[in-house]
Amino acid sequence: MLYSWWQRLSGSVTGAAVIIGAASIVSRALGLLRDNLMVKYVPSSELGVYLAAFKIPDLIFNIVVLGALSASFIPVFIAVKKKHDTTTAFTLANSVLNILLVVVTIGIGFGLLLAPQISKLLMRTHPEQQILTAQMLRVMLVCVWFFTVSNVMAGMLNAMRRFLAYSLAPILYNIGIIIGAIGFYPRFGLMGLAYGVVLGAFFHCVAQWVAAWHSGYRYQWIFCLNVTGVKKIFQLMPPRALSLGIMQLTSFVLSIFVLGFNTNYLTNWTYADNLFNVPINVIGVSLALSSFPVFSQALADNDFAKFKELFSNNIRRILFVIIPLSIVMLLLRAQLVRLLFASLGKTLFSWQDTIITAQILGVFSLSLFAQATIPLMTRVFFAHHNTKTPVYVSMAQLVLNVSLAWILSGTTLGLYGIALAYSISNIIAMLILLCILRVKYGDLDDKRIISSIAKIVAASSAMGLVIHGIRYLVAPYVDMHTTLGLFIQTTTSLAAGGFIYVTLAMYYKFEEADLIKVYVKKIWRVLN
């Protein structure tokens, strides 16, 4: 009974998105708890060292591993499984895994050797912290090995539409880091945080390995490019690896800009980015991931009508939620930052940290709609086995982002100029991707999408006015210096604004509201 229920839920785009989205909410909630606990025990300057050290493992992992899996592994695995059988597909997975492990091991070796030089580049204005940064970097490089195994398993599970372990893995990863903050940091100091990251990566790996095992996968030592599908994957990999490498390089360079001001600022920047990415991952990425196999199937069948319908429905669903959330982030940024990162008793996260983090979040919120829709657009290209176009767009975005960051950081905007450069470059990247899709596929249900955006913006503006008014109305009646006072002001404003938005959407019969109602009804039928 329970198994049948789960199969029905995971068998549709809607159900898969719910699984991924729900797990993402839990994972992000744990991530926010993790961040809250860290600022409770660890000074911002030390957190800056930890966050800087983590940049290199993240860079290696994203270039080498996600380059193969995000764009190429899933569609090729599906094609091989359909044309041949599951055994052949598992043989493909084993060969890809072993080749990647060898490449990643070489990358880790270079990372270990070059750790002192890398730490000098990152912490060039803070020489006293370079040795510790290098030590932490070397420990956290182990994570890359675990994540390589984990993400090959995830690719197979996604291709077979088994999303549970894939969704739970990030939760377990955050649990490992929380153990590091609570259990290891008091004993080992800042190195304890690095040990927690490794533990979380191990949990992430084990969860998906076990799920793949239960799905019939068995590991074999196969190291051969002649295995069916392997060459195809590695032919598709370089453009996507380059695209992700460019994204990671952008993040790396922006971190250097931020660290050039103050080590503490990297903590503020990262925490703003973590909060900002919650709706992107819960809404944008979840729908993009769950839609990817269906996009691939529709384009493989040359069913462009179905593809356009899927694209229109999903992008309107995303914007229906994301646009009002961007207004909420902009208007309640200080309240959200204080409640989420400095509300559990004694904290080392100062009021100045709150202000800086909130201002960065406010600038980020300007591009929330763009960053939430980019994952969906890029997966349209991946579904058509086109990994080159996103690379060219990413290259243009890198040049624009770094150039603007260099220019604006030297103005009176300072740190916030870097955030503004980040937002502007993402908006332009989204518009370029959309224009290319429009040229390639023609009408993408433009009329309905444009009409929907106009209605959503109007309703969101009304919601914003209500939030702004209620915020100032409530403030004199509560103690704004306490967590309770902030909580009352924030929740009251959100409740009033949310009520207005939903009421307008229902009264004027927004099509997206109907889509959400159908979405909920589908889930309700599956659950019952």
Say if residue 3's pLDDT is above 60. no
User: Span 283-288, mean pLDDT?
Assistant: 75
pLDDT mean across residues, the chain:
81
Position 479, amino acid = D
Quickly state the pLDDT bin for 426 (edges 50, 70, 90). very high
Most confidently predicted of 196-210, 287-301, 332-346, 467-481: 196-210
Quote the number of domains for the chain.
1
Matching residue, tokens 């239960």? 214
Integer Cα distance of 411 and 359 in angstroms: 16
Give residue-wise pLDDT tens across range 395-410: 899 899 999 999 998 8
What pLDDT sits at residue 68?
Answer: 52
Quickly state the pLDDT bin for 464 (edges 50, 70, 90). very high
Burial of 478 (0-12, 13-18, 19+ CB in 10 A): middle
Q: In this prediction, what percent of the chain has a pLDDT beyond 90?
A: 17
Residue 494 lies inside a defined structural domain of this protein: no
Angle between helices 333-341 and 263-279 (to 10 degrees): 100
Quickly state the pLDDT bin for 14 (edges 50, 70, 90). low
Say if residue 12's pLDDT is above 60. no
What pLDDT sits at residue 71?
Answer: 58
User: Span 442-463, mean pLDDT?
Assistant: 88
Say if residue 6's pLDDT is above 70. no
- What Rg do the C-alpha atoms of the chain give, in angstroms? 23
What pLDDT sits at residue 511?
Answer: 75
Give residue-wise pLDDT tens across range 131-166: 888 888 889 888 888 988 888 888 788 777 776 777
Q: Are 69 and 158 in contact (CB under 8 A)?
A: no
What pLDDT sits at residue 8?
Answer: 52
The more confident residue out of 466 and 274 is 466
Residue 483 lies inside a defined structural domain of this protein: no
Integer Cα distance of 169 and 205 in angstroms: 7
Residue 112 lies inside a defined structural domain of this protein: yes
Say if residue 221's pLDDT is above 80. yes
What pLDDT sits at residue 347?
Answer: 63
Say if residue 264's pLDDT is above 80. no
Strands (E), 67-125: none
The more confident residue out of 397 and 234 is 397
Say if residue 422's pLDDT is above 50. yes
Integer Cα distance of 216 and 90 in angstroms: 9
What pLDDT sits at residue 507?
Answer: 81
Quickly state the pLDDT bin for 466 (edges 50, 70, 90). very high
What pLDDT sits at residue 232?
Answer: 77
Give residue-wise pLDDT tens across range 240-256: 667 667 777 788 788 88
Residue 249 lies inside a defined structural domain of this protein: yes
Integer Cα distance of 187 and 39 in angstroms: 17
Integer Cα distance of 64 and 152 in angstroms: 12
User: Span 437-441, mean pLDDT?
Assistant: 83
Quickly state the pLDDT bin for 13 (edges 50, 70, 90). low
Residue 459 lies inside a defined structural domain of this protein: no
Give residue-wise pLDDT tens across range 18-66: 666 677 677 777 777 787 777 777 776 777 788 778 777 776 666 655 5
What pLDDT sits at residue 18?
Answer: 63
Integer Cα distance of 527 and 456 in angstroms: 30
Instruction: To the nearest 10°, report the CA torsion of 406, 409, 411, 416.
Output: 140
What pLDDT sits at residue 325?
Answer: 93
- What are the Cα distances from residue 92, in Å, to 64, 170, 204, 265? 17, 25, 22, 44
Quickly state the pLDDT bin for 239 (edges 50, 70, 90). low
Integer Cα distance of 318 and 326 in angstroms: 12
Residue 83 lies inside a defined structural domain of this protein: yes
Quickly state the pLDDT bin for 1 (edges 50, 70, 90). very low
Q: Which of 20-24, 182-186, 279-283, 399-403 has the lowest mean pLDDT?
A: 20-24
The more confident residue out of 516 and 285 is 285
Segments forming the whole domain that contains residue 184: 2-444
Residues sharing a CB contact under 8 Å with residue 233, sequence separation 6 or more, in sequence order: 68, 72, 73, 76, 92, 96
**Is the backbone of residue 128 left (phi > 0), alpha (psi -120 to 50) or beta?**
alpha
Structure tokens at 59: 């860079």
Burial of 419 (0-12, 13-18, 19+ CB in 10 A): buried
What pLDDT sits at residue 343?
Answer: 63
Residue 316 lies inside a defined structural domain of this protein: yes
Integer Cα distance of 159 and 464 in angstroms: 41
Say if residue 75's pLDDT is above 70. yes
Helix (H, G, I), strand (E, B) or coil at 280: helix
Give residue-wise pLDDT tens across range 329-361: 999 998 888 888 766 555 667 778 888 999 999
DSSP string, 447-489: HHHHHHHHHHHHHHHHHHHHHHHHHHHHGGGS-TTSHHHHHHH
Look at the chain and count its residues: 528
Integer Cα distance of 524 and 177 in angstroms: 35
Most confidently predicted of 42-46, 211-215, 477-481, 519-523: 211-215
Say if residue 11's pLDDT is above 60. no
The more confident residue out of 17 and 430 is 430
What pLDDT sits at residue 348?
Answer: 65
Q: Which of 191, 222, 185 is nearest to 92 (CA)?
A: 222
Residue 23 lies inside a defined structural domain of this protein: yes
